[in-house]
Structure 1
């Protein structure tokens, strides 16, 4: 039985992890016979199936004003409370309109009830759910208690209310086992773990002309070895380790490419990386054009390039993150058959490493042994081929669309008493 599914977040645009994962969920739900609709403050979805409300964007002027007065402070002025309530009430009206316009049967808040980048939006979604009892799958990517920037705040009452709420008729989905335990401990909410996924049932198809054409377009020479850092430019991604790796390898043909722009958490780190690269003598390239979501199949105007174009250009992927809720870029590198250097962040050690991937790993700092391992792998195409084939097979078993499809069928049965296609 077809259901109308409403995705809600502050943003469904670009290539951040929440946007990418929401697009994959939507793709699986559509394959199961459902229709998907979108509500956010920034959108690159088809207007015919979406509702754009700029005030819901976390970088909306009023929300920036609110965050400046609630983050890093323990006390809030009554004018801040009044503003939060005003914005919340306006957003509630928009959400109710969204539900009515598209006859929504089930909503999936994507991180909107998880990390308080937009407090009024989370409160609005919570109150709509409480008032309507609409079936809800709250998809949580990274909780506020996992980020130091939210540790001192003036809205603990609102965080306990809505980030996330404990309401009847709501299913909680987390992406790692530590989050599942902390959620239960802090809120009493039970949850299921659905890891990030990719369409391993359909391997990527890359034409023989794509790689050289895009490498030339990006300014690389034929003999260059491209190290791809496929992440946003934020400090917790540990990009300085990738710089150190390229420097230590000491080959002028080794170049580092960062695939995403800076912006969500400021530009200071990006500027620091540029200075460090210059001092180290590392050829650092930053993509200056915005990237589109490759799993967004809506026919709307998009940037010309997606991650599907960038990965084939790489010879090696660096992923030295200090913290990740799961690790989209890791899965993408495996999907595109690339050898990977990974920092053993907590979720990787607990949830991913036991699956048996063949990777080059570091433990918080780059050693000479690790550099030698990278050099050795790059000099051995047969070794690379064995690594990437093995990793693809492991990922296909644990992180394919089939895994998500099984869980969504289970949730649909819980809500509606039937199994989807």
Structure 2
């Protein structure tokens, strides 16, 4: 039975984890004749299947006004409460319209019921489900208790009500075992664990002539050893460890390339990294202007490459994160068959390491043993190939679309009573 599914979120655009994972869910569902529709405040999805409501976006000025008064303080003024409920009532009406317009059978809420980036939207979704009993899957990527900036709050009552709500019509989905345990402990709510995935059943394309120009365009020679840090420049990514690694290898051919910009968290960390790299004699390249969502041209006519292009040209991936909700870049390293350095962040230890993946692991600090293992990978192509081929098979077994398909089959069947996938 084909099911008409509505995805709801604050944003479905760009390369953030929520946008990427929701697209993967939709693809698996599309493959089985289910149709997907999109409700958000910012969208790059097909206009014919999308409903864009500006107040659903966490970056809307009215939502930012609320957030400034909701966090970092213990009390709120009556006008904040009034604004939240007025916007929630308005957004609830648009959700009613969305479900009617597309004659939906099922909602999949993407992260809007777990992290209070848009409080009125969370309240609106909660009230809509409570009023209609609408079958809903809530896909939780980040919980507010995992983020320090939400720890002092004037909206604790609303967070208990809607982030997430304990409603029987909702099937909750978490992306790692710690989140699953926390949700049960804090809310008494059970959830299904669905890891982030990549399409390991379809290997990546071979690098073409376009991709092979990446090194030249960023000033790296063919015989240089390219270490790729495929993340944003934010402190929790631990990029100082990648600089220390390249420095410890004592090889001028080793170059460190960062694919993404600082984002919205300021440039102080980037400045500190650049100073560290300079004093350590490490050739550090920030390539955020040359790496984008899709191929194209910059304003001055230079080539824009995809992250896949960058991976294809890398020799080694550095991923020394201190904290990750899951670790998509680690799966990408497996997918593109690249050796990888991992700082043993908690989710890796709990959900990925037990699968047997072969990585160079560090425990919060770099040791001579870690450096020597990286050097062995550089010096021994056969050892390297065996490692990356093994990791690809691990990804295929545990983090592939076929795994997602099995999980979604169970979730959809719980509502429809038929094997919809």
User: Does the alignment reach a TM-score above 0.5?
Assistant: yes
Deviations 1:149-208 (A, max 9, x none): 211111110110011011121100001111111101111111110111111111111234
Change (3 A) 1:123 1:190: same
Change (3 A) 1:59 1:270: farther
Determine the structure 2 residue equivalent to 1:116. Answer: 116
Determine the structure 2 residue equivalent to 1:57. Answer: 57
The residue matched to 1:227 in structure 2 has which SS? strand
Q: Is the 8 A contact 1:74 1:153 kept in 2?
A: yes
Determine the structure 2 residue equivalent to 1:133. Answer: 133
Determine the structure 1 residue equivalent to 2:198. Answer: 198
Offset at 1:408?
0.9
The residue matched to 1:5 in structure 2 has which SS? strand
The residue matched to 1:189 in structure 2 has which SS? coil
Q: Is the 8 A contact 2:172 2:192 kept in 1?
A: yes
Normalised TM-score (structure 1): 0.94
Q: Is the 8 A contact 2:259 2:291 kept in 1?
A: no
Determine the structure 1 residue equivalent to 2:292. Answer: 291
CA distance in 2, matches of 1:64, 1:278: 38
The residue matched to 2:117 in structure 1 has which SS? coil
Q: Is the 8 A contact 1:317 1:338 kept in 2?
A: yes
Q: Is the 8 A contact 2:290 2:304 kept in 1?
A: no
Segments of structure 1 that go 5 or more residues without pairing to the other structure are 295-302
Q: Is the 8 A contact 1:15 1:293 kept in 2?
A: no
Root mean square deviation, CA, Å: 1.8
Offset at 1:88?
1.7
Determine the structure 2 residue equivalent to 1:395. Answer: 395
Q: Write out aligned runs for 1:186-265 (5 A).
A: 186-265=186-265
Q: Is the 8 A contact 1:20 1:293 kept in 2?
A: no
Change (3 A) 1:257 1:90: farther
The residue matched to 1:357 in structure 2 has which SS? coil
Q: Is the 8 A contact 2:207 2:309 kept in 1?
A: no
Q: Is the 8 A contact 1:43 1:52 kept in 2?
A: yes
Offset at 1:304?
5.6
Q: Is the 8 A contact 1:14 1:291 kept in 2?
A: no
Q: Is the 8 A contact 2:294 2:304 kept in 1?
A: no
Determine the structure 1 residue equivalent to 2:159. Answer: 159
Deviations 1:345-391 (A, max 9, x none): 11111111111111100001111221121122111111110000011
Offset at 1:209?
2.5
The residue matched to 2:38 in structure 1 has which SS? strand
CA distance in 2, matches of 1:8, 1:317: 34
Determine the structure 1 residue equivalent to 2:148. Answer: 148
Moved over 6 A (4+): none
Offset at 1:411?
1.3
Deviations 1:95-146 (A, max 9, x none): 2222222222111111111111111111111111111211111001121111
Segments of structure 2 that go 5 or more residues without pairing to the other structure are 296-302
CA distance in 1, matches of 2:189, 2:77: 31
CA distance in 1, matches of 2:294, 2:178: 28
2:62 matches 1:67: no
Change (3 A) 1:62 1:267: farther
Offset at 1:214?
2.2
Normalised TM-score (structure 2): 0.94
CA distance in 1, matches of 2:167, 2:51: 25
Offset at 1:218?
3.0
Q: Write out aligned runs for 1:328-367 (5 A).
A: 328-367=328-367
CA distance in 2, matches of 1:43, 1:308: 22
Offset at 1:210?
4.2
CA distance in 2, matches of 1:228, 1:12: 26
Q: Is the 8 A contact 1:260 1:290 kept in 2?
A: yes
The residue matched to 2:255 in structure 1 has which SS? strand
Q: Write out aligned runs for 1:85-124 (5 A).
A: 85-124=85-124
2:179 matches 1:168: no
CA distance in 1, matches of 2:271, 2:86: 37
CA distance in 2, matches of 1:17, 1:293: 16
CA distance in 1, matches of 2:48, 2:345: 41
Determine the structure 2 residue equivalent to 1:298. Answer: none
